[in-house]
Chain A
Amino acid sequence: MLGFLLPTALAAPLVEVLSDELDRAVAVFDAQPETPHYIGVTVLEDHTVTLSAGSGTIDFRDDDRSRWLDVDLRVGTPELDSTHPLRGFSALEGETRGRVRLPLDDGYALAHILARELDARYREAAEHMVVLRANQNVLVEEEASANDFEPREAVVDTVEVPELAIDTAKWEDLLKRASARADRSPHVHADMVRLKVTREVKHFVDTEGTRLEHGRLHARLALDLQTTADDGDRVQVFDAFDVHDPETLPTDLDAWVDAQVQRLEALRVATRGEPYSGPVILEGRAAGVFFHEVMGHRVEGHRQKREDEGKTFSEHVGEPILPAWIDVVDDPRVETLAGVDLNGFYAYDDEGVPAMRATLVDDGVFQGFLMGRSPLPDVPTTNGHGRRSTGNPPSSRMGNTLVTATKAVPSAQLRRQLLDQVRKQGLEYAYIVEDIEGGFALTGRMMPNAFNIRAVASWRVYADGRPDELVRGIDLVGTPFVAFSNLSAADDAPKVFNGTCGAESGWVPVSAVAPAILFDRLEFQLKEKGQDRPPLLPKPLVEDDGAAEVTP
């Protein structure tokens, strides 16, 4: 039986419709053989303004509003419910859940579509429950048996989200000028300067009585430049500013654009790297992504329960997994760090739980997991990390992953230590990974439990003092324990990586903050290489058009 309480303080039209339909659904479903023990409903209101320039003109502008519905419905009991993964042949059973669009108003269609989705989720959950019971009977006991859901006290809160307001005329002019500036280079084959400002408001109601309205305002100013190198490599540089307030974005873009064009031109003629094993420094942003991929995904709570997961750290709580001078926490409550806005900031997760700080590693000792409301055998409670993008069930995910080194050295000293390692290992050179475009990790049992950090720009640092040499075309690869065991020092200048992380529960905004890290040994593999010749004819420049030149 489900309890239900409508907080009158939030009796806005939308909440009223959601609550009323939820009440009706509970009454209907409770009369069925299979009954839900929990239903949560989320409506995401999205307002996004996008302006983009290329070749010195506005190539895209859009002001889009949309609303999306998510119904999280659990049939059974908190101990065993319909979200419990099936095993064996029954795991082939398909799910039909997808993105559900809602009307832009609160008219009848809203309630109609909500009822349709509640019904679809209920019928699917009820079917799943029937199969699940047999699945549990027929198969062996699971390795990590725990409840499927943690019931919680209701939370009622409203967090104001600032309105979206930008001067589009001003920004169109800025973007066009920035694009025209990048376009002056004959080697920039495609340029894109994009401003995307998004206001998301989430309305959350559930059968525990939680009523939330929260969200975020986010702006990203990004520059994407592409070329084709003579060896066929598609060379791309990307840089972005992520901020909570669009007013804080930089508006003098010349130096930024020039720097990125120079990076592209340098990478175009850079040496392609080769498979390598030896000392490596990951600069701060790359180190952040390293921890995100190598540790972060492996400490997501739900992975510790699945029979097909690698469970790298499941049995290592309380044991050292990193040097004693490393701490790792994930704290979505941190809005800004050292003047940089963090993309993984949020007030409430997607299961109606306040964001909390999760200590993952303390003095090198593994402390615990990122938790949503799916408990582990020895971890009964969430720490506010249940996240998803619309159309997916929530699971435990990272927010702001913060790595700190309690024993840090200046950057110059870290480089000296790198060279010491090169000489000690009798190598000609080491690598410093300056920039990355992201990465991925394989955490299951069917594939090697490896990670890949996709490097964009790395520097060869020679032991004999030759100038550093820019290198492209190589990715960092490895496995978690070996990589961690080779971590030897860090600098004192942490950097922020703001990005978006994709996993089973969709794409969510994240940040990773870390100092530069020295590894005594890491491994590079060749990145896939483009095979296209560069364009056969030179790029037409503005002056070729016979048109008036645009002065950036």
Chain B
Amino acid sequence: MIAVLLGLAHAQDGDSPSSSDSELLEALKAEMARASELSLPDAPPLYALRYRLALMQQREVHAELGSVLVEDATPYHGLGVELRVGTPMYDNTGFGGWENGFVRGSLAADPTPHDARQAAWRLTDLAYKQAVEQHARKSSQFTAPDDYPGDWAEMPPVVADDGWATLTGSDALRARVIELSDVFTPAGDRLQKGQVVLGQEAGGMVLIDRDGTEVRRPMEEVTLRAMAHLRTDDGQMLTDSRLWSVRQPDQLPEQAEMVAELERMRDDLLALAESPSLTDEYVGPVLFEGDAALDVFRYLLVPQLEGTPAEVPYDSWFGDLGEAKDPVRIGRRVLPEGWSASDDPRADPSHPSSFLHDWEGTPAQRVDLVDDGIVRDLLMSRVPRKGLAPNGHARGFLGYRASGRVTQLSVEPNKAASSKKLVKKGLKMAQAYGRDHVLVVRRLQEDAVRAADATSSMFGFTEEDVLRLPPPVEVVRVYADGREEVLRGARFASVQRFVLRDIALAGEQRTGTFLAPIAGDYASMSPTEGMPTRISAPDILVREIELVPTSGDPRDKPVLAPRAATDTPSGARPGVDPETR
């Protein structure tokens, strides 16, 4: 499932909602009007109510070694209700706990106005009761300070039609996914797993509120994640993956190009298994290249730019519910002098992260976040923060409080050097640590893939999850004579956000995509789950990073290794569709 995908595009040529969709909307408006009658004795007044109607076609395919494992094409029709009681300055939101006035439910596969209205009736009733009680819980434990910015920024209604998307090319995608997964087949006797997962969805979301807002947004995304796991002879699990996330199937690279990319990944993983492990701790300069550089900014910079305040913790029987930590500070140095960062959801309209109006209907806009290395502004939803106004960066999903999130982030240094110069400077800096080489990291392991245990279909957590950076797929010792030595079995230690202030030099600018968690962390996500997010940033040389060895457990080495594809009763023949069996 890619149930929480917000890859949006604007100015679509796709079909507009049909008349039946309009009828659904009219039914919801009728129920929204009736909600003004909701009341309980001594309860604070209902002052804001929003419905989000999501109608999406979805397709999911999991393929392994040339065969389909899972296939699903169930549509997603959902209704989200967001209800606020009290006043914009102090309402039921922004306080920990899950019964807070934000609820969601499913609509029928064949939705009708009657079904939609009944769903709205049930969910609004539930949201109202939750909101009233949550308001009381909050007021019993939290007194707003004098400079409290409030819980909700009032804005004039917005009416916009940004289009609607339709699902296309699913059958061809299915065939591509099977073929891509078959790239791993020749290495089947070495691999624990070789899978490709497709998540495709298309449709749209309509947001309405009591003030007259009516915003239609397309929702469109094709995401493919390829992943392979290999167990080395000493028991280490090696993992690598590739992600493609686009709006429409025809935006994917040519199949031959994707096959070639996965063949490289497969072969690199096989070669890595034969490489030595890091045996000593490494403290010194590290050069992050390509996707690894993007991941450093993703993990260490992005959380410092998203400005929606954390919820006030609810002191409950379970302990504190809600995230008390607030990693965001305006005026904090997060990058070296001269560096800048900005985010504009409209920058690349072809990217699945792009939108014209955010999840709350606010027009999207560019925000200059970092200037001269210091945070000057933050990404905001309509949840206020002192001194900051909504700036069209709300992202979320039905039933969740939307928050200001990165969509298309660009991180730019004031000056950049060639790759050659980066290595040269790295080597020079390494000398101060008594080393004749500098470590280069080109890819980090993907949390959502790494958490997928290679021997079962269950997802779990590993000890590294407490770190701010996932372990590298590999590290490369680069020597002054250009010689490279590939090592496996390393992980970062003692990584802090200050790493970004410790960047010595920037290199080539890169662009990539990652899937951001809607809530929780990366490790709790399935391979194609999350909000597509575009990031552009340079390769970086960091003055000092610590890497330590990780060891595998020899007991994890398979006793019964899989046999080669050419050595099976059925030979290497491709899978046969169940329809033709």
Q: Are the chains A and B members of one assembly? A: yes
Interface, chain A (partner B; CB < 8 A): 13, 16-17, 20, 24-25, 28-29, 32, 54-62, 64-66, 96, 98-113, 115-116, 118-120, 122-123, 127, 183, 189-190, 532-533, 535-537, 539-540, 542, 544-545, 547
Q: Give A185 to B109 CA distance when docked, in angstroms.
A: 23
B10 within 8 A of A: no
- Which residues 562-581 of B sit at the A interface, judged by CB distance below 8 A? 562-563, 565, 568-570, 572-578, 581
Q: Which residues of A contact B456 (CB under 8 A)?
A: 96, 98, 100, 120
Find the B residue at minimum CB distance from A191.
B118
Task: Provide the B14-41 mask, 1 if CB < 8 A to any CB of A, else 0.
Answer: 0000000000000100110011011110
Q: Are A119 and B64 in contact (CB under 8 A)?
A: no
Contact of A537 among B34, B107, B558 (CB under 8 A): B34
Find the B residue at minimum CB distance from A107.
B575
Q: Are B455 and A535 in contact (CB under 8 A)?
A: no
Q: Are A98 and B113 in contact (CB under 8 A)?
A: no
Q: Which residues of B contact A539 (CB under 8 A)?
A: 118, 121
Contact of B576 among A58, A107, A535, A537 (CB under 8 A): A107
Contact of A103 among B67, B107, B113 (CB under 8 A): B67
Contact of B69 among A64, A103, A123 (CB under 8 A): A103
Contact of A59 among B30, B64, B108 (CB under 8 A): B108
Q: Which residues of A contact B577 (CB under 8 A)?
A: 104-105
CB distance from B177 to the nearest CB of A (A): 13
Q: Give A103 to B65 CA distance when docked, in angstroms.
A: 9
Contact of B188 among A100, A112, A122, A127 (CB under 8 A): A112
CB distance from A405 to the nearest CB of B (A): 46
Q: Are A55 and B118 in contact (CB under 8 A)?
A: yes
Q: Are B570 and A540 in contact (CB under 8 A)?
A: no
Q: Which residues of A contact B565 (CB under 8 A)?
A: 108
Ranked nearest first, the 3 interchain pairs of A and B with the lowest CB-CB distance are A103-B67, A107-B575, A105-B575
Q: Are B67 and A110 in contact (CB under 8 A)?
A: yes
29 pairs, CB–CB < 8 Å, chain A vs chain B: A13-B570, A17-B570, A55-B114, A56-B112, A57-B108, A59-B106, A61-B109, A64-B72, A96-B455, A103-B68, A103-B575, A104-B71, A104-B578, A105-B578, A108-B65, A108-B568, A109-B575, A115-B563, A116-B562, A120-B455, A122-B559, A190-B122, A533-B129, A535-B122, A536-B38, A536-B39, A539-B121, A540-B118, A545-B114
Q: Give A105 to B68 CA distance when docked, in angstroms.
A: 8
Q: Which residues of B contact A547 (CB under 8 A)?
A: 112-114
Q: Are B561 and A115 in contact (CB under 8 A)?
A: yes
CB distance from A532 to the nearest CB of B (A): 7
Q: Which residues of B contact A99 (CB under 8 A)?
A: 457
Q: Are A32 and B559 in contact (CB under 8 A)?
A: yes
B340 within 8 A of A: no
Q: Which residues of B contact A64 (CB under 8 A)?
A: 72
Q: Which residues of A contact B576 (CB under 8 A)?
A: 105-107
B560 within 8 A of A: yes
Q: Give A537 to B40 CA distance when docked, in angstroms.
A: 11
B415 within 8 A of A: no
B233 within 8 A of A: no
With contact pairs A106-B576, A532-B129, A536-B128 given, residues A59 and B109 touching in the complex (Cβ less than 8 Å): yes
With contact pairs A98-B457, A108-B572 given, residues A57 and B122 touching in the complex (Cβ less than 8 Å): no
Q: Give A521 to B488 CA distance when docked, in angstroms.
A: 71
Find the A residue at minimum CB distance from B195.
A109
Q: Give A533 to B118 CA distance when docked, in angstroms.
A: 17
Q: Give A116 to B39 CA distance when docked, in angstroms.
A: 59
Interface, chain B (partner A; CB < 8 A): 27, 30-31, 34-35, 37-40, 64-72, 74, 106-115, 117-119, 121-122, 125, 128-129, 185, 188, 192-193, 455-458, 555, 558-563, 565, 568-570, 572-578, 581
Q: Give A65 to B69 CA distance when docked, in angstroms.
A: 10
With contact pairs A24-B560, A55-B112, A115-B560 given, residues A107 and B66 touching in the complex (Cβ less than 8 Å): yes
Q: Which residues of A contact B561 (CB under 8 A)?
A: 115, 119
Find the B residue at minimum CB distance from A543.
B114
Q: Are A545 and B108 in contact (CB under 8 A)?
A: no
Q: Which residues of B contact A535 (CB under 8 A)?
A: 121-122, 125
Find the A residue at minimum CB distance from B106.
A59
CB distance from A21 to the nearest CB of B (A): 8
Find the B residue at minimum CB distance from A117.
B455
Q: Give A535 to B38 CA distance when docked, in angstroms.
A: 10
Q: Give A126 to B550 CA distance when docked, in angstroms.
A: 26
Q: Are A109 and B67 in contact (CB under 8 A)?
A: yes
Q: Give A116 to B560 CA distance when docked, in angstroms.
A: 7
Q: Which residues of B contact A542 (CB under 8 A)?
A: 114
CB distance from B23 to the nearest CB of A (A): 8
Q: Are A107 and B114 in contact (CB under 8 A)?
A: no
Q: Give A190 to B106 CA distance when docked, in angstroms.
A: 13
Q: Which residues of B contact A28 (CB under 8 A)?
A: 559-560
With contact pairs A57-B110, A101-B70 given, residues A107 and B115 touching in the complex (Cβ less than 8 Å): no
Contact of B31 among A13, A100, A540 (CB under 8 A): A540
Q: Give A432 to B70 CA distance when docked, in angstroms.
A: 48
Q: Are A105 and B67 in contact (CB under 8 A)?
A: yes
CB distance from A396 to the nearest CB of B (A): 26
Q: Which residues of A contact B570 (CB under 8 A)?
A: 13, 16-17, 106-108, 111
Q: Are B114 and A540 in contact (CB under 8 A)?
A: yes
Q: Are B112 and A112 in contact (CB under 8 A)?
A: no
Q: Are A119 and B560 in contact (CB under 8 A)?
A: yes
CB distance from B112 to the nearest CB of A (A): 5
With contact pairs A65-B578, A108-B572, A111-B568 given, residues A537 and B125 touching in the complex (Cβ less than 8 Å): yes
Other 20 A-B pairs with CB < 8 A, given A103-B69, A115-B561: A13-B570, A25-B560, A54-B115, A55-B114, A57-B114, A103-B64, A104-B69, A107-B574, A108-B185, A108-B188, A111-B568, A111-B570, A115-B562, A119-B558, A123-B558, A536-B39, A536-B40, A540-B30, A540-B118, A547-B114
Q: Are B66 and A109 in contact (CB under 8 A)?
A: yes
Q: Which residues of B contact A59 (CB under 8 A)?
A: 106-110, 115
Q: Which residues of A contact B37 (CB under 8 A)?
A: 536-537
Q: Give A66 to B570 CA distance when docked, in angstroms.
A: 20
Q: Which residues of B contact A115 (CB under 8 A)?
A: 560-563
Q: Give A116 to B65 CA distance when docked, in angstroms.
A: 13
Q: Give A59 to B71 CA distance when docked, in angstroms.
A: 20
